[in-house]
Amino acid sequence: MLFCCIFKHPAGNSLSVPPAEPRLWTTQRDGEVKLRMEESGLAAEPALTVNQMFVSTVERYGEYTALRWKEGDQQKSLKYKDYYQTCRTAAKSFLKLGLERYHGVGILGFNSVEWFVTDIGAILAGGFAVGIYTTNSPEACQYVAENSKANIIVVENHKQLQKILQIEDKLPHLKAIVQYKDELKEKRPNLYTWAEFLELGRDEPDAPLDAIIASQKPNQCCSLIYTSGTTGQPKGVMLSHDNLTWTAYSTSKHVNLTAASQAQEVVVSYLPLSHIAAQMVDIWITMKIGGVTYFAQPDALKGSLVDTLKEARPTAFMGVPRVWEKMQEKMKAVGAKSSTVRRKVAAWAKDVGLRTNLSKLNHAPVSYHIAKKLVFKKVRKALGLDRCTKCYTGAAPITKDTLEFFLSLNIPLCELYGMSESSGPHTISRHDAFRLTSCGIELPGCKTKLHNKDEEGNGEICFWGRHIFMGYLNMPDKTEEALDAEGWLHSGDLGKQDENGFLFITGRIKELIITAGGENIPPVPIEDAVKEAVPLISNAMLIGDKRKFLSMLLTIKCQVNPDTGDPQDELTPEAVELCRQLGSKAVRVSEIAGGRDPAVNAAIQEGIKRVNENSTSNAQRIQKWVILDRDFSVGGGELGPTMKLKRPVVVKMYKEQIDNFYKDVASPATPDNPLPPK
Ligand SMILES: Nc1ncnc2c1ncn2[C@@H]1O[C@H](COP(=O)(O)OP(=O)(O)OP(=O)(O)O)[C@@H](O)[C@H]1O
């Protein structure tokens, strides 16, 4: 907030005191922050609003294609100059519908032209762009809509509309709803189709919109990213114009993206846009460099993504670890079915690929033309990545196994690390600056500090730079927890750096379990060890915060409904086979859950025993466990959009099972809990 105080001078003249400089953070919707400008380098670049960045791209690349998509069998596209005009029309429509300054426009739907236009139109009109996860329940949508004081909500289809209609009465700020796909199934006042919505603004004068745009400053909020809740109630991360425009600029420089005047970069938009990673790549970075965004189909993650990749042939591609893992699983399955000769050639090429790429990382001279010709080119083509020179993974931890698998296919995955609170990326690895399992070095103009380092050099990763968020909307306490007195963002992640500044993530303090006995236990290594020891297990979650001992919730690998993504009762073929090997005839989760299958119980108990034997202390031993009826999923609410466990949600959902572990600490072994607490 700018404070301007006017007081009377004893002589009677009015004296105006210059406005106090804004602080580094604010939690007020109309607040302003001090920009973290530096004297030189990239952080000294002039600050831009979203409109200024967009106009500058239109001036340079107005005739270039900005957006591409497929409608039926037809390819459609929009040029930069028309994209900008459509956003302006949408902005005028929002104003006509009553959008107030610093109020939200919620967007609930799959990636599309309309999503982008809503987001940017809301910003141009002086509101906040607010992505809402399509998997949100009506109550979760209500929280976001209320928190952001949404005046308008733009939904994709009838299904999403129903969620908003259920909570409409509880949203006093809501003035209109727009549905951008499919026919409206019913007419309602204040419900518009996309065409009707754009029509509202078509003939509106420019002046009121231009006045709003002219009044915008780079240090004001324009976008809210709601955290997905892996660490508690979602928080509205306030991002300023400068956060978006500067991060887009700095990232494009760091990873050497090509400006459209030389050749247009192409990206495929398919990850949830309400998450900062997808939004930064698909909307802001691509706009900054005048690239093309190609929209995938809504069923991208259910199987159509590879077809879209083959059509779009992206030059840069970002996947969360689960996307790469799925590709890996699929390729392995296809590989297993191919002829012996093909398998041998592929295995040989992969061996050459891994060895050569590892030597390359060590700057040793390499040559692998034959493998490239025989296998790698074909693999890339089959994945639609034949033009893709930059493949990224990020937003969650990826296993070394997956990194090595792709490296062996000559597809080095560059890792990207960051948070919503850092407008997306903080560090990114590059082909010319790469260490396996490292997340690379920080963006130019940004700084990293490791707080409270231990003897091995592990400390809490703290960030500084113009990508750091403004604050959490209406949450001063949480903001002060995240930003220290000097303005460093504390990530809650543990990491260490090598002598060249390469960052390695080594844990998450924010999910550390602190037992009643005061022992600090990082859950992920124990959970990973259990999954590795018992391949039948799909998800494992360690319990023990403020408890006397550790226990674990387990789920079994099951089939997934391809349309909804919901976990089914049927086991995967791999799980059925694993059961056979254990002497179990189970084909369904319900035959195993709750300790119903003695052979599976024994195998899990044996696996957990092995993990316990390797534990560093008694407190780190898993004493009890239970197999749940249903696997974790995004739709079920246990996993976030990047497949990170939402621990507080799981604890609430399975309270009964957890209470059971601890209700009688001295209880003897049961089929569910074969190991009595020590
Ligand atoms: N490359 C990476 N490797 C390991 N962990 C990562 C990586 N990138 C991001 N993360 C993890 O994701 C966190 C950031 O998550 P993000 O800002 O996307 O929040 P979220 O998933 O929406 O929700 P919440 O804030 O509730 O966790 C980081 O603090 C880190 O723990």
Q: DSSP characters for 107-171?
A: EESSSSHHHHHHHHHHHHTTSEEEE--TT--HHHHHHHHHHTT-SEEEESSHHHHHHHHHHGGG-
Between the CA of residue 245 and those of 37, 169, 207, 213, 483, what are the distances in Å? Answer: 14, 36, 25, 15, 21
Res. 99 pLDDT band, cuts 50 70 90: very high
Rounded to the nearest angstrom, the gap between the alpha carbon of residue 307 and the centroid of all alpha carbons in its chain is 23
142 CA to middle of ligand 1, Å?
24
Please tell me the distance from the alpha carbon of residue 245 to that of residue 78, in angstroms, as a whole number: 22
Check residues 616 and 269 and name the one with the higher pLDDT.
269
Res. 661 pLDDT band, cuts 50 70 90: very high
What pLDDT score does 665 carry?
A: 63
Note the pLDDT tens digit of each residue in 302-340.
889 999 999 999 999 999 998 998 888 888 777 666 667
Q: Name the DSSP class of 442.
A: E
What pLDDT score does 485 carry?
A: 94
> At residue 383, does pLDDT exceed 60?
yes
**What token pair was written down for 384?**
């639609």
Q: Name the DSSP class of 639.
A: B
What pLDDT score does 403 carry?
A: 93
Res. 128 pLDDT band, cuts 50 70 90: very high
Average pLDDT of 620-641? 93
The finding on whether 504 has its CB within 6 A of some atom of ligand 1 is no
> At residue 258, does pLDDT exceed 90?
yes
> Which residue from 225, 402, 644 has its CB within 8 A of the most atoms of ligand 1, so it is best to mutate?
644
What pLDDT score does 346 carry?
A: 66
Measured from the CA of 230, which atom of ligand 1 is nearest? 26
What pLDDT score does 326 carry?
A: 86
Res. 619 pLDDT band, cuts 50 70 90: confident
What pLDDT score does 16 carry?
A: 63
Res. 37 pLDDT band, cuts 50 70 90: very high
Please tell me the distance from the alpha carbon of residue 228 to that of residue 133, in angstroms, as a whole number: 8
Counted residue by residue, the chain has a size of 678
Average pLDDT of 486-513? 93
List the domains of the chain with CATH numbers: 300-509 (3.40.50.12780), 513-663 (3.30.300.30)
Complete DSSP assignment for 176-218? EEEE-SS--SS--TTEEEHHHHHHHHHTS-SHHHHHHHHH--T
The finding on whether 538 has its CB within 6 A of some atom of ligand 1 is no
Between the CA of residue 473 and those of 86, 228, 244, 383, 469, what are the distances in Å? Answer: 29, 15, 17, 41, 11
248 CA to middle of ligand 1, Å?
19
Q: Which of 279-293, 370-384, 474-488, 616-630 has the lowest mean pLDDT?
A: 370-384
**What token pair was written down for 628?**
């749940």
Check residues 345 and 306 and name the one with the higher pLDDT.
306
427 CA to middle of ligand 1, Å?
13
Q: At residue 325, what is the residue type? A: E
The finding on whether 427 has its CB within 6 A of some atom of ligand 1 is no
Give the closest residue (by CA) to ligand 1 atom 19: 227
Average pLDDT of 352-367? 63
Contacting residues for 308 by C-beta, under 8 A, at least 6 apart: 70, 268, 270, 294, 296, 297, 300, 384
The finding on whether 417 has its CB within 6 A of some atom of ligand 1 is yes
Check residues 616 and 648 and name the one with the higher pLDDT.
648
The finding on whether 642 has its CB within 6 A of some atom of ligand 1 is yes
Q: Which of 294-308, 346-360, 373-387 has the lowest mean pLDDT?
A: 346-360
Please tell me the distance from the alpha carbon of residue 413 to that of residue 400, in angstroms, as a whole number: 11
Please tell me the distance from the alpha carbon of residue 96 to that of residue 99, in angstroms, as a whole number: 7
Q: Name the DSSP class of 678.
A: -
> At residue 9, does pLDDT exceed 50?
no
Q: Is the separation of the CB atoms in 247 and 466 below 8 Å? A: yes
> At residue 8, does pLDDT exceed 60?
no
388 CA to middle of ligand 1, Å?
25
What pLDDT score does 11 carry?
A: 40
> Which residue from 143, 230, 511 has its CB within 8 A of the most atoms of ligand 1, so it is best to mutate?
230
Q: Are strands 176-179 and 191-193 parallel, antiparallel or unpaired?
A: parallel
Average pLDDT of 385-401? 92
Average pLDDT over the chain, rounded to whole? Answer: 90
Contacting residues for 125 by C-beta, under 8 A, at least 6 apart: 91, 92, 94, 95, 99, 105, 209, 212
Give the closest residue (by CA) to ligand 1 atom 27: 230
Model pTM? 0.86
Note the pLDDT tens digit of each residue in 431-449.
888 899 999 999 999 999 9
Note the pLDDT tens digit of each residue in 527-584.
999 999 999 999 999 999 989 999 999 999 999 988 778 999 999 998 999 999 999 9
Between the CA of residue 598 and those of 503, 570, 580, 608, 650, what are the distances in Å? Answer: 45, 19, 13, 15, 26
Give the closest residue (by CA) to ligand 1 atom 4: 397
Using alpha carbons only, give the angle 460, 466, 467 rounded to the nearest 5 degrees: 65
What pLDDT score does 642 carry?
A: 81
Q: Is the separation of the CB atoms in 266 and 285 below 8 Å? A: no
Check residues 476 and 407 and name the one with the higher pLDDT.
476
The finding on whether 395 has its CB within 6 A of some atom of ligand 1 is yes
Spell out where 228-274 has E strands. 236-240, 266-269
> At residue 372, does pLDDT exceed 70?
no
Average pLDDT of 623-645? 91
Please tell me the distance from the alpha carbon of residue 404 to that of residue 357, in angstroms, as a whole number: 10
Give the closest residue (by CA) to ligand 1 atom 11: 396
What is the sign, positive or negative, of the torsion defined by CA atoms of 176, 182, 185, 187? Answer: positive
What pLDDT score does 64 carry?
A: 98
Q: What are phi and psi of 36, to 5 degrees?
A: -90, 60
395 CA to middle of ligand 1, Å?
5
Check residues 345 and 256 and name the one with the higher pLDDT.
256
Average pLDDT of 293-299? 96
Average pLDDT of 33-51? 97
> At residue 26, does pLDDT exceed 50?
yes
Q: Report percent pLDDT > 90 for the chain.
A: 73
> At residue 589, does pLDDT exceed 60?
yes
Res. 624 pLDDT band, cuts 50 70 90: very high
* Axis crossing angle, helix 113-124 with helix 80-96, rounded to the nearest 10: 60
Give the closest residue (by CA) to ligand 1 atom 18: 419
The finding on whether 473 has its CB within 6 A of some atom of ligand 1 is no
Res. 2 pLDDT band, cuts 50 70 90: very low
The finding on whether 419 has its CB within 6 A of some atom of ligand 1 is yes
Please tell me the distance from the alpha carbon of residue 43 to that of residue 41, in angstroms, as a whole number: 6
Q: Is the separation of the CB atoms in 427 and 503 below 8 Å? A: yes
518 CA to middle of ligand 1, Å?
26
Q: Are strands 413-419 and 424-428 parallel, antiparallel or unpaired?
A: antiparallel
Average pLDDT of 217-224? 98
What pLDDT score does 516 carry?
A: 87
Q: Which of 81-85, 142-146, 667-671 has the lowest mean pLDDT?
A: 667-671
Average pLDDT of 594-602? 95
Residue whose entry in the numeric block shows the structure tokens 């004068």? 205
575 CA to middle of ligand 1, Å?
30
> At residue 471, does pLDDT exceed 90?
yes
174 CA to middle of ligand 1, Å?
31
Between the CA of residue 85 and those of 75, 214, 273, 352, 433, what are the distances in Å? Answer: 21, 17, 22, 51, 40
Q: Is the separation of the CB atoms in 113 and 67 below 8 Å? A: yes
What pLDDT score does 382 carry?
A: 86
What are the strands of the beta sheet with 489-497, ordered from one edge?
Answer: 447-451, 459-464, 489-497, 503-508
> Which residue from 143, 423, 472, 642 has its CB within 8 A of the most atoms of ligand 1, so it is best to mutate?
642
Give the closest residue (by CA) to ligand 1 atom 6: 396
Q: What is the three-class DSSP state of 479? A: helix
Please tell me the distance from the alpha carbon of residue 635 to that of residue 2, in angstroms, as a whole number: 43
596 CA to middle of ligand 1, Å?
36
Q: Which of 139-143, 338-342, 389-393, 477-481 has the lowest mean pLDDT?
A: 338-342
The finding on whether 135 has its CB within 6 A of some atom of ligand 1 is no
